[in-house]
Chain A
């Protein structure tokens, strides 16, 4: 591991530079058209470093990261599966990289063909009637979905619908999105078995209901068994049903959101379609819709003229009811191309295998972790592609928390599961192995978890003070928030 502790600015020396990279300076004469009053007085404080300084510094920093390419990464609800290198190479082909987003369709047929195929692929996989690839992330897909629900009600002059219903176990983006779309949020409780409290939902539904946002399998890691009754309840009240595709991996090739009665869904291609997370993005959050929301899909989309075989952009001039553009151009093209590569390699049987083997892995891991002494949050239920352990007992009896176990896992070279989410399960770890991890990789994780439980009983400080092997020990988050230091100064 690297011991690089300097910032790039601390490598800077006046007069140094990566001199192969910039063109020679222009003369002041050539800048004379820019009024002096608009000129910068002091040059910006970018570092002055050599090319080797930069390559070495950032290579060293990279080694301070955990990554799928290095470690098992069982983050629940994040679907950290292998990101095929072939997808990266295909998306970085010069023809795709050099294409200007506003290049005419005549110079974009190859790119448009990929998008068109991907739209159709996603339509079939999800059972929806139309797909737009425009949203740039899961949260933007959610925004597009709820904005379409609003556009639908508005078009019918059904303007008393002011509320979006959200199960309490939902991702934080769901309520935040509803508010961004101008709705109030009403939370719906979840029962002890992980299913939505149907009676409470019936009470909450009414003429003020614009829609319900839910994830299925839910963030409790179980399939919502009453989904048909839920759909009927919401639809009977005049609301629409939104599917958050965070957990789509679990049901690929098993059951489709369109067949469960959902009106609109978003997919996270950076989860289900294996595009990289890149340390926090970029993602892509395509949306799929049922028949009645087709007029509102965000633009642009790829269209095909069957007669001429020519592809073109479908934009607001041909779809004026669309909720419009969500970015300056047409979404995260490079992410879409990577997802297209993955979809084409997997094909029909591959898609079905994703649901099967991710579910197999999760159920195996759950059973084995129960055997070594951990407590499942929903022991009576099948795991979907992920499951929840609760360490409430360990926290009470041993004073060792879920966070402690998560931190100690890092010392065993295992990335921590998602901690403290969903909020309704105390001291929880949300664990998702994905279909791309081998049985041996899972067995190593199980062995680490078993060893940590033993440590918690015999040497709890070892767990409570972990990690010991990382570039830093536990960080002072309170100091970080109180004494804000967000930019470097010499």
Chain B
């Protein structure tokens, strides 16, 4: 019996102790006529590890290797071997939520270190132990801002059109049940940025928060200082959505404008998490100290034991569902513990200079790729704003058609902006430190062929 250790003797001994004749007797409280469907006839017979591994290996193999320039919220990076070798140690991999603090000091200290790393990277006071991903993290941040902004009575939040549309739709799916409205701030069609001028129409209106994405979905860098100061001048909180790699080079949200952002969220995947078809990733979440009691999710504190020795424990649990039930800040129960553990190891290995170097290569490679592609007739940059590691290009032909032809050559040449922005000829392209000059040239040559 796979994963079940009992011998026939064990089974008899246990049944004897219970005073039952057959295992089936243990289900005598279930009405008999309800059991009919449980023969599970449509399921396959079980197979051994060898056969199932072979089946899955064949399927993994089938997802052919492709040279990818896809970004849009998930990015290819070098992951040091030590990251997952350590994270998948059984002591991390098979531990439960650290409710028994004395027997979970390993996990608890890792989370405390993680909170510190995220706070330092974002320039904020405190961070939680992570949420599911960047997009659901934004939904949590919006709900948090509604609670935290005592000056505002509104259930409305301003969201830039240039925010990742997948964040927008997930956030909307989560918050709309509480009658929260996300109003859209348009972007400037020339710059590819959210301009402070476009906000004047909302002046004097009651919004709980303004969301600022740095970089935005187009890879463009926003004038975060102006946007932040405008929001604060209009009694709104600022929710920053940021890429963690970029923070090695860019002003951290805690220093935006004169007061800094109030809440920061983002996708943690670039910090040592493989693309892995979209998950598990983790969302990081940080805020100013004064808002910490409105933050959802698990939070770890440093304290002492009864002999005065340093120890770590879950704290501020009065915010959480297992204590507060219907009055909790969120229904979130888990964090993304293992992914967050991997990210902690990644950040420690890569260090401050290493992360700056990774970010620098991402930026430089993307610039180089854009230069090479725009040297092709009819290919041009769509926007004038400076970019971090993604860029929107106009093609002389329909983007979806071009991308499909590139895919036939096993090159994933970017994401189409046709469906989300009605920009039929535009693609969003990303390069990171993993791309070599040769990779860029292969892409450019294929693009020339397809466009010819």
Cα(A43)–Cα(B7), bound, Å: 60
Residues of chain B lying within 8 A (CB to CB) of residue A407: 100, 102
Q: Is B80 an interface residue (CB 8 A)?
A: yes
Inter-subunit contact B278/A331 (CB<8 Å): yes
- Is A101 located at the chain interface by the 8 A CB criterion? yes
Q: Using Cβ atoms and an 8 Å threshold, which residues of chain B touch A181?
A: 177-178
Give the distance to chain B from A105, nearest Cβ to Cβ, in Å: 10
Q: Would you call A351 and B43 a contact (CB within 8 A)?
A: yes
B452 at interface by CB-CB < 8 Å: no
**How far is A298 from B68 in the complex, measured between Cα atoms in Å?**
28
Contact with A along B1-44 (1 / 0, CB 8 A): 11111100011011101111001001111110011111011111
Contact A359 B26 (CB under 8 A): yes
A278 close to B (CB within 8 Å): yes
Question: How far apart sit A443 and B4, CA to CA, in the bound complex (Å)?
Answer: 16
B279-307: which have CB < 8 Å to A?
279-280, 282, 292, 298-307
Given A55-B82, A83-B94, A110-B62: A22 touches B40 (CB 8 Å cut-off)? no
Residue numbers in A under 8 Å from B34 (CB-CB):
227-228, 255, 259-260
Q: Answer whether residue A204 sits at the interface, using C-beta atoms and an 8 A cutoff.
A: no
Q: Knowing A359-B26, A471-B105, A477-B303 touch, does A18 contact B224 (C-beta < 8 A)?
A: no
B186 at the interface (CB under 8 A from A): no
Quick check: A58 and B136 within 8 Å, CB to CB?
A: no
**What are the residues of chain A within 8 A of B104 when measuring CB–CB?**
64-66, 279
B residues 42-78 near A (Cβ < 8 Å) are 42-49, 52-53, 55-66, 68, 70, 72-74, 76, 78
Q: Does the CB pair A172–B325 fall under 8 Å?
A: yes
| Stretch in A233-241, A392-400, A434-442 touching the partner | A434-442
Query: Interface size class for chain A?
Result: 35 or more
CB contact between A348 and one of B44, B52, B302, B367 (< 8 Å): that residue: B44
Q: Is the CB of A95 within 8 A of B62?
A: yes
Alpha-carbon separation in the docked complex, A297 to B179 (Å): 20
Is there an interface contact between A69 and B4, defined as CB atoms closer than 8 Å?
Answer: no
The contact string, 1 if C-beta is below 8 Å from chain B, for chain A 223-260, is: 10101100000000000000000000001011110111
B217 to chain A, nearest CB (A): 11
B250 to chain A, nearest CB (A): 6
B86 touches which one: A7, A59, A406 (CB < 8 A)?
Answer: A59
Given the contacts A21-B80, A328-B166, A255 and B38 also touching, CB distance less than 8 Å? yes
Query: Given A69, A298, A329, which contacts B73 in the complex, CB threshold below 8 Å?
Result: A329
Q: Is the CB of A101 within 8 A of B278?
A: yes
Q: 17 A–B contact pairs at CB < 8 A?
A: A20-B80, A47-B351, A48-B351, A58-B341, A64-B104, A92-B84, A95-B63, A136-B280, A173-B322, A254-B35, A280-B337, A281-B97, A328-B133, A328-B278, A341-B53, A360-B18, A438-B10
Say whether B47 contacts A347, CB under 8 Å.
Answer: yes
| Contact A324:B169 (CB < 8 A) given known A93-B56, A140-B132, A337-B56 | yes
Q: A8-B113, A360-B15 are in contact. Are A96 and B277 (CB under 8 A)?
A: yes
Q: Are A61 and B109 in contact, CB atoms less than 8 angstroms apart?
A: yes
Check: A44 CB closer than 8 A to any chain B CB: yes
A165 at the interface (CB under 8 A from B): no
A18-B96 in contact (CB<8A)? no
Q: Does B332 contact A (CB under 8 A)?
A: yes
Q: A70-78, A286-294, A451-459: which one contacts chain B?
A: A70-78
Given contacts A54-B345, A103-B70, A348-B43, contact A44 B355 (CB under 8 A): yes
Least CB distance, A431 to chain B, in whole angstroms = 14
Closest 8 A/B residue pairs (Cβ): A347-B46, A95-B60, A69-B90, A22-B354, A329-B278, A278-B338, A101-B278, A110-B59
* Complexed CA–CA distance, A21 and B225 (Å): 33
Taking a contact as CB atoms under 8 Å apart, the answer to whether B321 and A83 are in contact is no
Within 8 Å of chain A (Cβ to Cβ): is B172? yes
* Complex interface: chain A residues within 8 A of B80 (CB): 18, 20-21, 51
Residues of A within 8 A of B397 (CB): none
Contact with A along B96-134 (1 / 0, CB 8 A): 111011111111011011011101110001110110111
Query: Are A345 and B360 CB-contacts (below 8 A) given A41-B251, A382-B26?
Result: no
Q: Determine the distance from Cα of A469 to Cα of B355 in the docked complex, in whole angstroms.
A: 40
Q: Which of B88, B274, B279 has the most CB of A within 10 A?
A: B279
The answer to whether B96 touches A78 (Cβ under 8 A) is yes
13 additional A-B pairs beyond A176-B331, A223-B29, A346-B46, beta carbons within 8 Å, are A43-B356, A44-B252, A66-B104, A70-B90, A107-B410, A223-B30, A327-B135, A421-B322, A439-B5, A474-B102, A486-B115, A486-B301, A487-B112
CA A391 to CA B40, docked complex, whole Å: 40
Q: How far is the CA of A298 from the CA of B174 in the complex (A)?
A: 11
Compute how far the CA of A70 lies from the CA of B95 in the bound complex, rounded to whole angstroms: 9
Q: Is the CB of B351 within 8 A of A352?
A: no
Taking the complex as formed, is A344 at the interface, i.e. its CB lies under 8 A from any CB of chain B? yes
Complex CA gap A428/B62 in Å reads 51
Instruction: Kindly identify which residue among A24, A58, A278 contacts B357, using a CB–CB cutoff of 8 Å.
Output: A24
Contacts of B386 in A (CB 8 A): 33-35, 38
Tell me which residues across on chain A come within 8 A of B58, comparing CB atoms.
Answer: 110
Q: Are A351 and B354 in contact (CB under 8 A)?
A: no
Interface residue? A318 (CB, 8 A): no
A8-B348, A35-B386, A93-B60 known; A345 and B2 CB under 8 Å? Answer: yes
Could you say which residues of chain B place their CB within 8 Å of the CB of A95? 59-63
Q: Which of A18, A176, A278 contacts B351 (CB 8 A)?
A: A18
B92 within 8 A of A: yes
Query: Cα distance A142–B333 when bound, in Å?
Result: 11
Q: Chain B nearest CB: distance from A132 CB in Å?
A: 13
Interface size class of B (residues with CB under 8 A): 35 or more
Decide if A462 is an interface residue (CB 8 Å cutoff). no
The reply to whether B59 and A113 contact each other, CB–CB distance below 8 Å, is yes
In the complex, A320 Cα to B68 Cα: how many Å? 30
Task: Name the contact of B30 in the complex, choosing from A96, A125, A254, A353 (C-beta under 8 A).
Answer: A254
Q: Is the CB of B278 within 8 A of A46?
A: no
- The smallest C-beta distance from A347 to any residue of chain B, in angstroms, reads 3
Residue B383 CB within 8 A of the other chain: no
Given A46-B352, A172-B323, A63 contacting B169 (CB threshold 8 A): no
A381 within 8 A of B: yes
Contact of B292 among A82, A360, A486 (CB under 8 A): A486
Residues of B within 8 A of A198 (CB): none
Contacts of B172 in A (CB 8 A): 324
Given contacts A65-B103, A352-B38, contact A40 B247 (CB under 8 A): yes
Residue from the list B17, B53, B57, B315 in contact with A368, Cβ < 8 A? B17
Bound together, the chains give a CA A486 to CA B298 distance in angstroms of: 11
Report which residue of B35, B280, B345, B407 has the largest number of chain A beta carbons within 10 angstroms of its beta carbon.
B280
| Complex Cα gap A111–B59 (Å) | 7
Given the interface pairs A18-B80, A359-B26, A360-B15, the reply to whether A228 lies near B6 with Cβ below 8 Å is: no
> Counting CB contacts under 8 A, is B91 at the interface?
yes
Q: Contact at B364–A98, with CB atoms within 8 Å?
A: no
Residues of A within 8 A of B56 (CB): 90, 93, 114, 337, 340-341
A448 on the B face (CB < 8 A): no
| CB contact list, A158-211 vs B, under 8 A | 171-173, 175-182, 185
A48 neighbours in B (Cβ, 8 Å): 351-353
Contact A75 B61 (CB under 8 A): no
The reply to whether B136 and A382 contact each other, CB–CB distance below 8 Å, is: no
Interface contact A90-B53, CB-CB below 8 Å = yes
Given the complex of chains A and B, what is the CA–CA distance between A251 and B26 in angstroms?
11
CB contact list, A317-351 vs B, under 8 A: 317, 323-335, 337, 340-341, 344-351
- In the complex, A111→B351 CA distance in Å? 34
Q: What's the nearest-Cβ distance from chain B to residue A54, in Å?
A: 5
CB of B190 within 8 Å of the partner chain: no
Q: In the complex, what's the smallest C-beta–C-beta distance from B170 to chain A, in angstroms?
A: 5
Return chain B residues, CB-CB under 8 Å to A477.
303, 313, 315
Contact call B26/A360, Cβ cutoff below 8 A: yes
Residues 296 to 349 of chain B near chain A (Cβ within 8 Å): 298-307, 309-313, 315-316, 320-328, 330-339, 341, 344-345, 347-349
Looking at the complex, which one of A30, A282, A356, A438 makes contact with B336 (CB distance below 8 Å)? A282
Say yes or no: B170 contacts A324, CB within 8 Å. Answer: yes
